[in-house]
C-alpha cells in the first residue's frame, strides 16, 4: 500500500484525489494526534495559496480540526515559508499549508509543519496516516461537545508579522533599483510587492492578479521566459520569479540570462563568506547541481556537500552538520539563520543585497559561475518503478554514460510530486546531450505505451 504522504505532503487533483472528505479526515487526524501529545485544544495554523480549490479544502480541514476539539487559526493566502515562521511565533502545535506549489491550478496539496517550523518526520506522517485510515472505516475517536468543541479564528494580521520578518533579513535598501517581479499569480502576489516597495525598489509587476485558475499559468519560476522579455523590454536591473507558494526564487539578469538556484547559491555563499558567516565555508546542494557549481564554489575556496534531490534532504544534511546555506537548482534556497524551510522572498532579498553590497550588476555576479549545457526531459509515466527498472531503459542509460565518460553525467530519477521520470544529461556538447536524453526518454515511453 502506498503512503498517503508523498515527498511534500498529500497531493492530487482537487476534488477527485484530494477531496474535501480526505481534507476533513486529515484535519481531524491532526487535531487528534497533536491534541493527545501537547494540549487539549491544539492550535493549528492554516495558510493557502490562490487556487480555486483552496477555500474548499481549508473549510474541510477546519471542520475536521474543530470536530476533534482543535483551535484552527486561518491566516488566508500566505507563502509556505510564512506558515513555517508563524507556527513558531504563535506557539501553535502544527501548521498546515494548502498548496501544490508549482503544479497547475487543478492540483492541490496539504502539507504539515511541526511546532518547531520544520516539516513533519516520516514517522509522524505515518501515524497521522494511520488515524486517517481508521477514520475512513470506523470513526470512534474523540468527539467533544458543548464548550469543548473546537473553534476557528481568522488572523490575516499575522501575515504582516511575517512580512516584517522578511524585511528584517536584509540591512540594505534598494532605492532606485529597477526590478521586474513575477508572483506567479500565487501566494506572493500581495505580500512581495509590499516588501519591495518598502525597501525602495522601482517595481514592475507580473503575475499579480490571481483568479483561482491562473496560478503558475505561463508565469512564475516555471515559465521564466516571460520574465526575461519584460526585463529586457523595461531595461530592468534584475527580474525575480516565484512559484505558486513562493518557496522558490529564480532570477533573470539585466542581459536576459537565467540566474538559477546554483548561481544564487554561489552569490549568497560569496556574500556570507565575506563576513565570515558561512559555516565551514560549505554549501549543501543536490545531485542536480551543475558541474559548473562545483567549480565555482571551489574557486571561492569553499566546499560543497551533495544530497538526493529534494529540499528535505538538503535541510537534513544542514541540520545534521550545522551548515547554514543550502538549496537546489530549482530555486529552493534554505538559509537556516532565518528560516526552517526554503523561502523565495528571503532568497530574493539576499540576491538584491549581493548586488548592492558588491556594487556589481546582476550579470557580473551571475558570471561567477559558468553553467555547463544541461538537458532535462520529463516523461509522463504510468508506473515510475517499472519505468526505471526496465532493461531497455537501463541499457540506454548505460550506453549514454559510456559515451559521455568523464566529460559529463546522466541522472534519471522519478519525480516525488508528479507521475514523471526526469531524464537529465550534462556535458560540454548540447547536441550530444539532446540525442542521449531523447534515446533514454524514448525507451521509457515504450515501457508506458
The length of the chain in residues reads 449
Q: Which residues of 62-82 are buried (b: 16+ CB within 10 A; e: fewer)?
A: bbbbbbbbbbbbbbbbbbbbb
Give the CATH number of domain 10-159: 3.40.120.10
Among residues of the chain, what percentage have pLDDT more than 90?
86
Q: How many CB atoms lie within 10 A of CB 147?
A: 6
CA distance readout (Å), 121 to 100, 111, 127, 274: 19, 12, 10, 35
At the topology level, CATH places domain 374-447 in TATA-Binding Protein (3.30.310)
CA atoms of 21 and 35, how far apart (whole Å): 21
Which pLDDT tens digit goes with each residue over 222-241?
999 999 999 999 999 999 99
> With contact defined as beta carbons under 8 Å apart, do 411 and 388 qualify?
no
Mean of all residue pLDDT scores within the chain = 95
Q: Which residues, other chains included, contact 124 with Cβ-Cβ below 8 Å and sequence gap of 6+?
A: 33, 114
Cα–Cα distance measured from residue 333 to residue 257, given in angstroms and rounded to the nearest whole number: 19
Q: Three-class SS of residue 7?
A: coil
Distance CA 15, CA 57 (A): 9
Q: Do 169-366 and 374-447 show the same overall fold?
A: no
The burial of 320, by beta-carbon neighbours within 10 Å (0-12 exposed, 13-18 middle, 19 or more buried), is given as exposed
Catalytic residues: 101
**Nearest alpha carbon to residue 166 among 329, 311, 355, 348:** 348
- Tell me the pLDDT tens digit for each residue of 366-405: 999 999 898 999 999 988 888 888 999 999 999 999 999 8
Domain 169-366, architecture per CATH = 3-Layer(aba) Sandwich (3.40)
pLDDT at position 140: 87
How does pLDDT run across 61-102, given as a tens digit for each residue? 999 999 999 999 999 999 999 999 999 999 999 999 999 999
150: its cell numbers = 473546537
Classify 374 as helix, strand or coil. strand
Angle of CA points 350, 47, 1, to nearest 5°: 105
> Domain limits of the chain?
10-159, 169-366, 374-447
Q: What is the pLDDT of residues 184-216, one digit of tens each?
A: 999 999 999 999 999 999 999 999 999 999 999
Amino acid at each position: 500500500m502506498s503512503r498517503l504522504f508523498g515527498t511534500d505532503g498529500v497531493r492530487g487533483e482537487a476534488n477527485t484525489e484530494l477531496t474535501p472528505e480526505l481534507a476533513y479526515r486529515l484535519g481531524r487526524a491532526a487535531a487528534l494526534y497533536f491534541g493527545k501529545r501537547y494540549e487539549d485544544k491544539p492550535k493549528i495554523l492554516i495558510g493557502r495559496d490562490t487556487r480555486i480549490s483552496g477555500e474548499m479544502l481549508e473549510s474541510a480541514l477546519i471542520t475536521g480540526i474543530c470536530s476533534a476539539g482543535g483551535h484552527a487559526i486561518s491566516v488566508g493566502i500566505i507563502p509556505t515559508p510564512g506558515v513555517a515562521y508563524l507556527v513558531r511565533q504563535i506557539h501553535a502545535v502544527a501548521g498546515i499549508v494548502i498548496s501544490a506549489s508549482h503544479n497547475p491550478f487543478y492540483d492541490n496539496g496539504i502539507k504539515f509543519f511541526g511546532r518547531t517550523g520544520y516539516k513533519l518526520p516520516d514517522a509522524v506522517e505515518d501515524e497521522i496516516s494511520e488515524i486517517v485510515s481508521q477514520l475512513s472505516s470506523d470513526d470512534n475517536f474523540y468527539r467533544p461537545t458543548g464548550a469543548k468543541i473546537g473553534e476557528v479564528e481568522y488572523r490575516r494580521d499575522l501575515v504582516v508579522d511575517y512580512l516584517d520578518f522578511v524585511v528584517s533579513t536584509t540591512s540594505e535598501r534598494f532605492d532606485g533599483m529597477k526590478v521586474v517581479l513575477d508572483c506567479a499569480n500565487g501566494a506572493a502576489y500581495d505580500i512581495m510587492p509590499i516588501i519591495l516597495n518598502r525597501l525602495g525598489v522601482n517595481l514592475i509587476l507580473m503575475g499579480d492578479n490571481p483568479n483561482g485558475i491562473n496560478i503558475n499559468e505561463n508565469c512564475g519560476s516555471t515559465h521564466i521566459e516571460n520574465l526575461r522579455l519584460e526585463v529586457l523590454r523595461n531595461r530592468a536591473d534584475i527580474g525575480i520569479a516565484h512559484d505558486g507558494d513562493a518557496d522558490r526564487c529564480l532570477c533573470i539578469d539585466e542581459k536576459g540570462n537565467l540566474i538559477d538556484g546554483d548561481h544564487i547559491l554561489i552569490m549568497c555563499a560569496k556574500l556570507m563568506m565575506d563576513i565570515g558567516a558561512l559555516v565551514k565555508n560549505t554549501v549543501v546542494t543536490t545531485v542536480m547541481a551543475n558541474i559548473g557549481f562545483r567549480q565555482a564554489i571551489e574557486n571561492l575556496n569553499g566546499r560543497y556537500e551533495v544530497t538526493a534531490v529534494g529540499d528535505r534532504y538538503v535541510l537534513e544534511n544542514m541540520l545534521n552538520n550545522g551548515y547554514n546555506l543550502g538549496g537546489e537548482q530549482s530555486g529552493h534556497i534554505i538559509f537556516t539563520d532565518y528560516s526552517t524551510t526554503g523561502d523565495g522572498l528571503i532568497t530574493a532579498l539576499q540576491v538584491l543585497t549581493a548586488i548592492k553590497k558588491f556594487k556589481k550588476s546582476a550579470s557580473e555576479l551571475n558570471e561567477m559561475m559558468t553553467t555547463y549545457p544541461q538537458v532535462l526531459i520529463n516523461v509522463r509515466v504510468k508506473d515510475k518503478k517499472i519505468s526505471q527498472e526496465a532493461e531497455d531503459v537501463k541499457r540506454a542509460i548505460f550506453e549514454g554514460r559510456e559515451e559521455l565518460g568523464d566529460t559529463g553525467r546522466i541522472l534519471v530519477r522519478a519525480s516525488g510530486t508528479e507521475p514523471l521520470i526526469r531524464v537529465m544529461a550534462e556535458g560540454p556538447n548540447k547536441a550530444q546531450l539532446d540525442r542521449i536524453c531523447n534515446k533514454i526518454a524514448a525507451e521509457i515511453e515504450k515501457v508506458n505505451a
